[in-house]
Structure 1
Amino acid sequence: MQDLFFYLSKTLWFVLSPDHFLWLLTLLALFLCRRRVGFLLLLLAVLGQGVMAFYPLGNLLLRPLEQRFAMPTEMPERLAGIIVLGGGEDAEESFLHQQAQFNQGAERLMVLPALLEQYPDTPVIFTGGSGSMLQQTYKGGDAVAQWLATLGLADRVQIERESRNTFENAVFSRRLLADESQGPWLLVTSAFHMPRSVGVFRQAGWQVIPYPVDYRSGADRIRPLLNLNMDDLNVAVREWIGLLAYYLSDYTDALFPAPRGAGR
C-alpha cells in the first residue's frame, strides 16, 4: 500500500504541478487550435504564465501554511529527542562531487549544530532517503552523514536513509528507537511543510514540538522573476495537495493540523 501511494502521488504531481499543468494545457490548446476551446485554453495558459511572471502568487498559499505553527517562545529544558526531516540536501550532487551540497531548504540542517550544543545528551535522528520515483541510488541521509562527519558530529546523529516521503519519515524513524521514549520530540522541518509533518507524526504516535525553519513567503509586491514565482507556487500547491492526499489516506490526524499544548 505504501508503494502504491508513493508511485501514485509522484505520477499525479507530475500532471498537477503548476508548471507542468500550464505546459500540458498549452499542448492541449495547440492540439485543439482549430476550435474555439483551443483558443480559450491557450489564452488561459498565456495569461496564467503572464501573471506568474510578475506576481508571487505562491505567497497567498504559502503564508497560511507557514503561520500555522510558530517557533517555540521558550525551549524546553529536556527533550526525548530531536528529529530533522530531509529535504535540505542535494543527494545526487553530494555523491557526484564528494562534497555535501544543499538547496533552498538547507536551514533544516543549519540549525543542527546549535541544537546539538543546546541539548548535548539528547538523541537526534535525521530522516531522509530519496523521493525520486525513478532513481533511488542517491540518499539524502548519506549526504547529511558526510556533512556531519566534516563537523565531527557524525556520532551524535542517527541516520534514517530509506524513507521516501513524510509518512515513511515518521514510521521508519520509530524503528530506530530502542524503547518508547517518553516526552516530546523537537520536530525540525520547513515552515510550509510543518502542518503536514505534525499531522503525520501525531498519527504515527509521536509527541512533537514544532520547530519551523526555511520560510519561503515574502512581500506581496511585483517580482518579475518567473522561475522564482513558479517555484514558490509549486511548493505551495504541492503542500496543499499533500495535506489532502495524506488526510484521505489516513496518514495524518487532521486535514489541516493545528497547534496543541506543548508536547501533546
Structure 2
Amino acid sequence: MDSLFFIASKLAWGLLQPGSWLVGASALALLGLILNRRRLALIAGSLGLALTLGFAALPVGDRLIHSLESRWPLPVDPASVTGIIVLGGAEETVFVPPGAQIRLNEGAERFTEGLRLALRYPEAKLVFTGGYASLTSRHGNQGEPVALRFYRDLGIDPARLVLETASRNTAENARLTLDLVQPAPGETWLLVTSAFHMQRALLSFEAAGWTGLIPWPVDYRADPSRLVIWDFPRNLRLTSVALREYIGLIAYSVFTP
C-alpha cells in the first residue's frame, strides 16, 4: 500500500504541477490549429499566455509560500536537547559525479542548521531521515549516505549519528525514524525541515505516534514584500513548491499514508 501511494503521488504531481498547465495549454492550442478549431486554439492560447504573464509578473509563489512559512516563527534554543531530527531533501541524490564533493540544493539549511545544533548540543543524537524518492532515474543513493559524509567530514562523531535512508516520503520519514529511535517519554527532540514543509512533517510524525516534537523551521524562501516582479523561473518554482505542499497536506489527511 505504501508503494502504491508513493507511485500514485509521483504520477499525480507530474500532472498537477504548474509547469504542466503551460504544456497542456500549448498542446490544446496546437491541437485546435491542427483540427481547424480556432475557438479552441484561441482559448487555449489565451490561457497559456495569461498563465505565463501571471507567473512572470505576479508574486503568486511568494504569497503561497509565505502562507505556509508564516505559521512557524524562528525558535529559541532550548536549555537541553536529547536529539535532532534532520529531514532529507537538501541533498542531490539523482546524479552525483564521482569525487569527494557533496552536492546540496536550495534546501541546504536543513543540513547546516542540523550541524549548528549538533555543535550547540554536543550530547544530543543527530538523526538524519531520507532515502531515494525518484521514479525516473537509475542512480539513487550510491556508496556512503550524503548525510554521513557531510557531518563526519565537518567534525561530528559518527557515533552520534543515526541514519535512516529507506524512506521515500514524509510519512515514511516519520514511521521509520520512530521505529529506529524509540524515543522515551520526557525527552526533547527537535524536528528540522524547511518552514514550508513543517506542517506536513509534524502531522506525519504525530500520525506515526511521535508527539511533543519541537518544530525547528529553516529554509525560508518567501519575500512577502513583493508586489510586482518579473521573474518567471523563480515564481514558477515557488508556486510549484507551495502547491505541492498544499496537495500533500490534503492527500495525507485523506489517505493517511
TM-score by length of 2: 0.90
Separation in structure 1 between the aligned mates of residue 203 and residue 138 of structure 2, nearest angstrom: 26
Separation in structure 1 between the aligned mates of residue 97 and residue 120 of structure 2, nearest angstrom: 30
| One of 225, 229, 240 as aligned partner of 2:231 | 225
Q: Residues 53-132 of structure 1: matches in 2 within 5 Å?
A: 53-72=56-75, 74-132=76-134
| CA spacing shift, 1:164–1:95, aligned 2, 3 Å | farther
Instruction: Report the 3-state secondary structure (helix = DSSP H, G, I; strand = E; otherwise coil) of the residue aligned with 1:32.
Output: helix
Map of 1:259 onto structure 2: none
Map of 1:254 onto structure 2: none
Task: Please tell me whether residue 202 in structure 1 is matched to residue 206 in structure 2.
Answer: yes
Structure 2 gaps, min length 5: none
Instruction: Report the 3-state secondary structure (helix = DSSP H, G, I; strand = E; otherwise coil) of the residue aligned with 1:231.
Output: helix
Instruction: Report the 3-state secondary structure (helix = DSSP H, G, I; strand = E; otherwise coil) of the residue aligned with 1:242.
Output: helix
Separation in structure 2 between the aligned mates of residue 87 and residue 135 of structure 1, nearest angstrom: 16
Map of 2:15 onto structure 1: 15
How big is each residue's C-alpha offset from its partner over 1:193-250, in whole Å with a ceiling of 9 and x where there is no partner? 0111111111111121110000111132332221111111110111111111111112
Percent identity, aligned pairs only, is 37
| CA spacing shift, 1:158–1:137, aligned 2, 3 Å | farther
Task: Please tell me whether residue 142 in structure 1 is matched to residue 145 in structure 2.
Answer: yes
Instruction: Report the 3-state secondary structure (helix = DSSP H, G, I; strand = E; otherwise coil) of the residue aligned with 2:168.
Output: coil
Instruction: Report the 3-state secondary structure (helix = DSSP H, G, I; strand = E; otherwise coil) of the residue aligned with 1:126.
Output: strand
Whether the aligned pair in 2 keeps the contact of 1:128 and 1:139 (CA below 8 Å) is no
Shift of 1:112: 1.9
Whether the aligned pair in 2 keeps the contact of 1:71 and 1:210 (CA below 8 Å) is no
Shift of 1:37: 2.8
Map of 1:24 onto structure 2: 24
Shift of 1:55: 2.4
Map of 1:189 onto structure 2: 193
Deviates more, 1:25-34 or 1:226-235: 25-34
Instruction: Report the 3-state secondary structure (helix = DSSP H, G, I; strand = E; otherwise coil) of the residue aligned with 1:175.
Output: helix
Shift of 1:47: 1.0
Task: Please tell me whether residue 42 in structure 1 is matched to residue 48 in structure 2.
Answer: no
TM-score by length of 1: 0.88
Shift of 1:19: 0.7
Shift of 1:13: 0.4
Paired letter, 1:105: G
Shift of 1:154: 5.0
Paired letter, 1:81: G
How big is each residue's C-alpha offset from its partner over 1:69-111, in whole Å with a ceiling of 9 and x where there is no partner? 2222x33223332100011111244454441011100000111
Whether the aligned pair in 1 keeps the contact of 2:18 and 2:236 (CA below 8 Å) is yes
**How many corresponding residue pairs?**
249
Paired letter, 1:24: G
Q: Residues 230-241 of structure 1: matches in 2 within 5 Å?
A: 230-241=236-247
Structure 1 gaps, min length 5: 252-264
Instruction: Report the 3-state secondary structure (helix = DSSP H, G, I; strand = E; otherwise coil) of the residue aligned with 2:217.
Output: strand
| CA spacing shift, 1:247–1:78, aligned 2, 3 Å | same
Shift of 1:49: 0.6
Instruction: Report the 3-state secondary structure (helix = DSSP H, G, I; strand = E; otherwise coil) of the residue aligned with 2:145.
Output: helix
Whether the aligned pair in 2 keeps the contact of 1:29 and 1:41 (CA below 8 Å) is yes
Runs of 4+ in structure 1 displaced over 3 angstroms?
Answer: 92-98
| One of 243, 247, 252 as aligned partner of 2:249 | 243
Separation in structure 2 between the aligned mates of residue 129 and residue 32 of structure 1, nearest angstrom: 43
Instruction: Report the 3-state secondary structure (helix = DSSP H, G, I; strand = E; otherwise coil) of the residue aligned with 2:128.
Output: strand
Paired letter, 1:110: T
Shift of 1:153: 1.5
Whether the aligned pair in 1 keeps the contact of 2:192 and 2:215 (CA below 8 Å) is yes
